[in-house]
Each structure stands twice: as C-alpha cells, then as structure tokens.
Amino acid sequence: MLQHPTSHPYVVSEARNTSWKNTLVEGRAATYAVAGAGAPVVFLHGYALTPRAYDRALLRMAAQGVRVFAPSLPGFGGTAELPPAEQNLAGYARWLGGFLDSIGIAGPVTLVGHSFGGGVAIQSAHDLGARVARLVLVNSVGGAAWSPGGGDVRPIGERPLWAWGAAATGDALAIRPSVAGLLAITADAVGNVLRNPLAMWRLSHLARNADLRGELDELAERGLPVTLLWGGDDTFIPRASFESLRIALRNPTVVTVAGNHGWLIDDPHGFGTAMATVFGVEQTQPHTPAAVTL
C-alpha cells in the first residue's frame, strides 16, 4: 500500500478562478471552463451537471501544475445537443475530438471523467487513440454489472429504475458542498432537465446501460495508463460495476477515497490530493499497478 506524502512536487499553487469561454464544434456552440497552466488535462462532468458544479475541484486539480479544460458536454449547459444519429458514446467521443481541434490542442491529453463523463472518457480514449495519453476514471459508468443485495452479479440493465433513483437521491443528500456549490448543482440539474427533458431521459438510459468492458480491454492491451479513482461509499455506481471496470483493465492503479458518488464536489481538496497522487504514482512507477488509499 502506497502512502501519500504530506507535500507533493506536483503541487504548484492554488489556481484562483476558472474562466469561461465559447467555441464552435462542427458549427455548433460549445462552452468550456479553463483553469491553471501546464500540460493539458481535459475533465468531463457527470450526468445532468456542467463544469460549474465542479468549480472548486477543477481549481484544486489545476493547482497540481496542469491546465484544465472542462467542456460542457453536448446537451448540457450552453453546448448544443448532438444530432439524433450521434447521441451515443461514439458520437460524444467524436465530438470531443472536434472540441480539441476547436481549441487548438493537437498533442496528447490526460483525460479525466466522472460518472457519465467517465463513460465518454473511456470511449474517447478508445476512439481517439494517441490523442489521449492517460485516462483517469472517477466513479465511472461502463462496468455494466450489478449485484442485488450482495448476491449474484447481473447485467446492470436489470437494475430497477427505483434502485437507481433511491441511490441517486441518497448520494445527493450526502453531498455537503458550499452554498455556492449547492446552488451550482441545483441550477445545473434543474436547468438541464427543463431545457430538454427528453434529451435528459435518453442520456440517462445511455449512462445506465453503458457497457464499455470491451473498450477497456483494448485500452489495457494498448498499455494506456489508466487510474480508477473510487469513492468507496458510492451506492449509485454499484461496487460490482467498479470491480468489472478493474477486471477489464487487468488490475490498473486504484486510488480509493472516503466519500460517495459525488465525493469530488463534496471534497475538492481531497480530489486535488488524489490527482496529485495519480500524477506522482504514474510518473515514478508508470508500469506498476498500485493500490492507494487516501
């Protein structure tokens, strides 16, 4: 078990704020946040949210000496929805490649995805090849496994909607962000649902049923560095799904933290510490899977 040091060479300085910018991706509007300076890191947010809900977490990550780009994914915030035929994970991955083109990032990036954003990140790392140098999955969808009551593991599509809803409600009530953070989460979720409820329903179905184990197996075969960040108290993404991700990746680096599905919103300092650990472990031991508990 690796122990996280009290100080880390990658911690540079606290980024003071994020800035918001607009761009066009294939002729459609997109918004994104930027913070920090250094090597490019792209952060993909969770379902029904935008990067605004993660503002403090993004600043903590930027403080590790990287430049964070956090787009509002298509259909969320100020970013235009994808055409109907492209409203799938492959469509989101294609859009991300266009987004990188639009902001002038040609070289490889570190790709970080939370929840639904993790599913998009997996597909993007698979489809975009050398444009992704490292993948970090934070309580990500894609494992496609569910174990009711600790029993037999079943396909996650069999998990009842009420179980998803109960887990989501309990997880949301457990988050204790700042007042500003709570307002951002509420504004994101309510605003996105009111703008396009049918799109939110389609995306929730996509997130709930995502099975990306084949893509993960190919990423493992390529040798792409992948780290799983896992809030150990998550009930929204079942433990069986996390284990399925880990098995598909052939025992990747795992960093376990205290917290639930939205732990990085609740504890941005802990997220910054976890990302410092990710950067440090992969810099010093790039070929050795590690188990880290923070």
Task: Please write the tens of the pLDDT for every residue from 145-185.
Answer: 756 666 666 555 555 454 545 445 555 555 555 555 555 66
pLDDT mean over 234-262: 90
pLDDT at residue 45 in the model: 96
Q: What percent of the chain has pLDDT over 70?
A: 72
pLDDT band at 192 (very low <50, low <70, confident <90, very high): low
Computed over every residue of the chain, the mean pLDDT equals: 82
pLDDT at residue 3 in the model: 33
pLDDT at residue 158 in the model: 54
pLDDT mean over 42-68: 94
pLDDT at residue 155 in the model: 57
Q: What percent of the chain has pLDDT over 90?
A: 54
d(Cα 50, Cα 72) in Å, to the nearest integer? 5
End-to-end CA distance of the chain: 11
pLDDT at residue 153 in the model: 63
Q: Is residue 210 scored above 80 in pLDDT?
A: yes
For residue 3, count other CB atoms closer than 10 A to its CB.
Answer: 9
Backbone dihedral region for residue 5 (phi beyond 0: left; psi -120 to 50: alpha; all else: beta)? beta
CB neighbours of 206 closer than 8 A, spacing ≥ 6?
A: 87, 88, 89, 116, 119
- Of 32 and 289, which is predicted with more confidence? 32
pLDDT at residue 190 in the model: 55
Range name among 3-7, 55-59, 274-278 with the lowest pLDDT average: 3-7
pLDDT band at 206 (very low <50, low <70, confident <90, very high): confident
d(Cα 156, Cα 158) in Å, to the nearest integer? 5
Q: Mind giving me the DSSP string for 133-149?
A: EEEEEES-SB--EE-GG
Q: Which two tokens stand for residue 143?
A: 């494992």
pLDDT band at 8 (very low <50, low <70, confident <90, very high): very low
Q: Is residue 17 scored above 90 in pLDDT?
A: no
Q: Is residue 200 scored above 70 in pLDDT?
A: no
pLDDT mean over 65-70: 97
- Of 18 and 205, which is predicted with more confidence? 18
Q: Is residue 2 scored above 50 in pLDDT?
A: no
Max mean pLDDT range (125-134, 159-168, 227-236, 238-247): 125-134
- Of 165 and 293, which is predicted with more confidence? 293
Length of the chain: 294
d(Cα 239, Cα 85) in Å, to the nearest integer? 32
d(Cα 265, Cα 259) in Å, to the nearest integer? 10
What pTM did the predictor assign?
A: 0.84
CB neighbours of 112 closer than 8 A, spacing ≥ 6?
A: 41, 42, 43, 44, 61, 121, 136, 138, 275
Range name among 88-92, 193-197, 206-210, 233-237 with the lowest pLDDT average: 193-197
